[in-house]
Every structure is written in C-alpha cells, then in structure tokens.
Amino acid sequence: MRRRALLAALAASPLIATTAGCSVGERVDTGDGNAAGPAGGGAFVAAISAEPDQLDPHKTTAYASFQVLENVYDTLVVPNGKTLEMEPSLATQWETSADGLTWTFRLVDGVTFHDGTPFTAADVVFSYKRIIDQKLANAARFATVADVTAPDDRTVVITLKRPTPNLLSRIGGFKGMAILSKDVDEKTLATKANGTGPFSLQGSSASEISLKRFDDYWSRAPKLGGVTFQFLPEPAAALTALTTDQVQWTDNVPPQRVASFKDDESVDLGEVASVDYWYLAMNCAKAPFDRVEVRRAIAFAVDREAVTEAAKFGTARANQTAIPQGSEWYYDYAPFRRDLDEAKRLLQQAGVSTPVTMGLMVTSDYPETVTAAQVIASQLEPLGVKVDIQTEDFATWLDREGRGDFDAFMLGWLGNIDPADFYEDQHRTGGANNYQKYSNPVTDGLLDRAAVEPDKAARKTLYEQAAKQIVDDVSYLFLYNPDAVQVWKKGITGYEVRVDKAVDFGTLALPTRGDS
C-alpha cells in the first residue's frame, strides 16, 4: 500500500546475494549539499526489523518487503501521507462514467523504468492482468473488474462488473499494486526489481539491500544518493547502531524507550496514531478452536488493556474492532471483558474439558508479539488453557501460517485505508488472507453488499454489521491499534512519519556539512 505492508503472507524464495552496498557511514559529496555513497548507493542507512521475503510486489505481503519496494515502484494513484486521500501518481487524472462502471485514467508523460524502457498504458494492463490471471496475492482487489484496456499509450480504461466506490484505494493503496514493465522477466522478480520509483535496486546480501538514486525519476529526483536497508531484528541492536552513527533511521524502537527519545537532542522522534491493528487468530479449521464458544471463551479471558500496556507501553490503544478510534469508519463495539466465569461456562457449553493446550505462534522479528503472548498465556492459565508459545523467525512464521500449521498466531495488518482493507480479504470465506479459515455466510453477505454500496453512510453501516459479526465469532481477537514510531538523526529534513507506515525516502535530505 503505498501502504499496506501487510504482515502476513506465504514465504517465498530468499533473496539471492549480489553486490553489497558500501560500508556504513561512508559518504562523499555530490556537489548539491547532500551526501552520497559510491555509485550513488549507501548514502543513507535505515535499520528495519526483518529481511524482505522477496521483491515481487504482486506476490509478497510482508511489511519488510514493502519498506524497500515503497522506494522502488509506483502505482497509478497514491494515498496522502496524512489524510490517506488518494492523489495522482502515474495517473494524472481520472473520470468515472455516470453508471460508475467505467473509469478512465490519463497517464503522466515522460516516465521510464529503471532499465530505460518507456512507461506506457500497456504496462498498466500487463500489471493488473498479471495479478488477475495468475490469482496473485491481491487478486481480490480486482473482484469487480471486468476488463482493463489501453485505447492508447497514455490512457487506461478499467471496466467494472458493478460499481466499486473504493476502486482508487484498491489500485493505489500500497505497492502490492505496483506497475511493472510488460517486458519484465517474471522468473527474476523475486530477487530483482525494475520500477519507475525514485530509487533502483543496486544489490542485496543476507544482511542488507541497497538502492541507488534514479536520476531520471519522472517526478523529482531524490536528494539522497542512495539508501541501504539493514536487517536488525533486535531493537537494542538497531538503537545501538543509531546512537553510534552506523544507521541514520530506524522504526525498530522498543516501546519502553519512546519516552526517553522525546528529550534526546541527538535524534528526532516521529510518532503518529496509525491505521494498523494487531490481533490473535485461532485456527477455525482445527479442534477445539473450530467451536465459536471456545474462541469466545478465550476472548472473555483476555484483558486487552493489560496486553496493550505490556506490549506497547502507552504507544497503542486497546480496541475490540480493527479500525482505530480516530477514523471516520470507527465502530464503537466492545462486547468482551475479562470474565473467567463466562469463559468457563462457554467451554462447558462447547463440551470441552480442561486442560486445553493452545500453540500460539509468534515471531522474534516482531518482539511485541512475544511480549503480548506471554501476558495472554498468564491470563488464560486460570481458564485451564495452557499456551505453548512458539517463537519463530519471520520466514518460518510465514510458511507455517500459509500452510495452516498452527493453533493460533499473533501479528498485525499495517497501512489500512478503506474499511474493506480491514475486513474483506481476512474474513470472507476463502479470502486470500483468511489464513484462520473463518467462514460465515452472514459475514460474506454483508461484505459483498458493502463492497459495492455507493452511499457512504449506508456503506459504513454495512461494515459495522460485518465487524460485529466478525468480533462476535472471534474470527480475529482484536487487541490494539498502535502508533507509528520512528527515530532518525538530528538534522535530517524532508521526512515525515505516515499514518499508513509507508516508508518513503524520496524527499529525505541529509544535513549539509557543518550542520548539526
């Protein structure tokens, strides 16, 4: 998504090691007051918490991948970093037919891919049909699309089967909808990238990925000579690297350290309420979690406030639905409270005798899942549910999730924009991201109606009804909405934390020599 760096996906082949970027901190003057590394790479080093699973934007849904791809690819439209309203990108303007079934997009002139190939409407058609025809990760976003055509090199027409009020967020919400060259070698997309974005891929290794400035970028050439993403899963290591000037930016910030950075004159702290949510999902295809009474029992035994405080130290707000309170789509519904008597009654109603063991899969690449799992384990123990915390590296976590090899797991969805992003693919029967195998025809019907409802108020009501059913059935046990927290070295300009957590370094500038 420009945004959505979703945190759940099938694992793909690992990145192949190629040429590594320059050493950390090595910089030369480019003559424009900014620093750049050799060959324009390695000028700016960012520490992220996980290694991308792959670089094919149409197949990955891992956040670490999109942190990199955000800077390499473009979409037709993009969300504003503060309001999330959709704005022009590769499409300069668009119009909709009176019946809402035909959308016509005019494309920007003079755009080239990183390999020098001109960008045309045929590339858009290829990219969208690739997702649709191969049923890739985001194919559901095109569920209402009848056809995508290119009347000429600068025009794309999307014809719909039925009105789709959120089409712009569907095609521009994040880099999973990136535009690829029609001439791309699809066999290499997992490890190579050829976009139209501000930076091009320079090389990768087991510990980092380096990008270099694309001087022919169609919008405005970035001020940085390049960007290197280092993979530092341990927050302590990321902060040490920041304080010793080995990296200039990180989002791998322990929540308990956020307050201390507010008075640290060597760094700038960026903190905004995000549109993310974190949750626990139980496997609805596996006994005893296939019983709604069992899932509800666990929901009644969890104290979300305690989990939120332990995991986020005041940088998140407990919520029993997905959409955060500051959103116009927020739905105030909180049916669960910690009530062990009710939880025990529900287990008895389900015919489940205790003790019950629940394997809870978390990942060390996102330490808050480990902390939250420990709290939840202590809360479920009096219920007679023994939690077996299974801590995996992210690649293993993704693989197990995709194969359904879990009792329960914890993670989050990031960068959501439209209410469909919060609920549709995750909770519709057979949805692309419905790894927990939840199925309820009532929910399906409400989501189907909401997806095509043109009236905003009516659409909000439908999504509220769907959210109520999802919460009542505990398809997800929603926990909290976190803040987006990032820290960077003092003197850096042109960068802001986005509410959708998209990491865009295209306008960032390092301090000139002599600046503090």
Predicted confidence (pLDDT) at residue 16 exceeds the cutoff of 80: no
pLDDT the model gives residue 140: 86
| Phi, psi angle pair for 241, to nearest 5° | -65, -35
pLDDT the model gives residue 515: 53
Residue with structure tokens 């066999």? Answer: 187
State pLDDT tens for residues 179-201: 999 999 999 999 999 999 999 99
Contacts 24+ apart (CB under 8 A), 326-335: 326/273, 327/275, 328/460, 329/419, 329/422, 329/460, 329/463, 331/463, 331/464, 331/467, 331/468, 333/464, 333/467, 333/468, 333/471, 335/471, 335/472
pLDDT the model gives residue 24: 27
Burial environment of residue 107 by CB neighbours within 10 A (0 to 12, 13 to 18, 19 or more): buried
Q: Which two tokens stand for residue 14?
A: 């690992």
Residues 482, 494: contact at Cβ < 8 Å? Answer: no
Predicted confidence (pLDDT) at residue 119 exceeds the cutoff of 60: yes
At residue 504's C-alpha, the angle toward residues 503 and 508, to 5°, is: 120
pLDDT band per the 50, 70, 90 thresholds, residue 414: confident
pLDDT band per the 50, 70, 90 thresholds, residue 352: very high
- Nearest CA among 56, 67, 52, 54 for reference residue 131: 56
Residues 60, 137: contact at Cβ < 8 Å? Answer: yes
E runs forming strands in 315-435: 316-318, 356-363, 385-392, 408-413
Burial environment of residue 505 by CB neighbours within 10 A (0 to 12, 13 to 18, 19 or more): buried
Predicted confidence (pLDDT) at residue 31 exceeds the cutoff of 80: no
pLDDT the model gives residue 137: 86
Q: In a 3-state reduction of DSSP, which class is residue 492?
A: coil
Q: In a 3-state reduction of DSSP, which class is residue 235?
A: helix
pLDDT band per the 50, 70, 90 thresholds, residue 61: confident
CA distance 371 to 367: 7
Residues 38, 448: contact at Cβ < 8 Å? Answer: no
At residue 138's C-alpha, the angle toward residues 249 and 130, to 5°, is: 110
Q: Report, in angstroms and rounded to the nearest whole number, the Rg of the chain calculated over CA atoms.
A: 23
pLDDT the model gives residue 368: 92
Specify the range with the lowest mean pLDDT, choosing from 32-46, 290-304, 390-404, 418-432: 32-46
The helix (run of H) or strand (run of E) holding residue 102 is: strand 102-107
At residue 189's C-alpha, the angle toward residues 188 and 194, to 5°, is: 105
Q: What is the mean pLDDT of residues 348-354?
A: 96
Burial environment of residue 286 by CB neighbours within 10 A (0 to 12, 13 to 18, 19 or more): middle
Q: What is the mean pLDDT of residues 254-270?
A: 91
pLDDT the model gives residue 513: 63
At residue 184's C-alpha, the angle toward residues 178 and 186, to 5°, is: 90
The helix (run of H) or strand (run of E) holding residue 228 is: strand 226-231
pLDDT the model gives residue 514: 55
For residue 234, the one-letter residue type is: E
Residues 77, 171: contact at Cβ < 8 Å? Answer: yes
Predicted confidence (pLDDT) at residue 6 exceeds the cutoff of 80: no
pLDDT band per the 50, 70, 90 thresholds, residue 82: confident
pLDDT the model gives residue 336: 98
Predicted confidence (pLDDT) at residue 375 exceeds the cutoff of 90: yes
The helix (run of H) or strand (run of E) holding residue 489 is: strand 477-489
Predicted confidence (pLDDT) at residue 25 exceeds the cutoff of 60: no
Q: Which two tokens stand for residue 514?
A: 């002599």
CA distance 119 to 409: 41
Mean pLDDT over each residue of the chain, to the nearest integer: 90
Residue count (the chain)? 516
Q: How many CB atoms lie within 10 A of CB 186?
A: 12
pLDDT band per the 50, 70, 90 thresholds, residue 244: very high
Q: How many CB atoms lie within 10 A of CB 95?
A: 9
State pLDDT tens for residues 207-230: 999 999 999 999 988 999 999 999
- Pairing of β 249-250 and β 44-48: parallel
Q: Which residues pair with 503 in a beta bridge?
A: none
For residue 327, the one-letter residue type is: S
| Phi, psi angle pair for 243, to nearest 5° | -70, -20
Distances 346 to 197, 321, 342 between C-alpha atoms, Å: 53, 21, 6
Q: Higher model confidence: residue 141 or residue 515?
A: 141
Burial letters for 57-82: b for 16+ Cβ neighbours within 10 Å, e otherwise?
Answer: bbbbbbbbbbbbbbbbbbbbbbbebe
pLDDT the model gives residue 3: 32
Residues 447, 428: contact at Cβ < 8 Å? Answer: yes
Q: Which two tokens stand for residue 85?
A: 């309203």
CA distance 300 to 143: 36
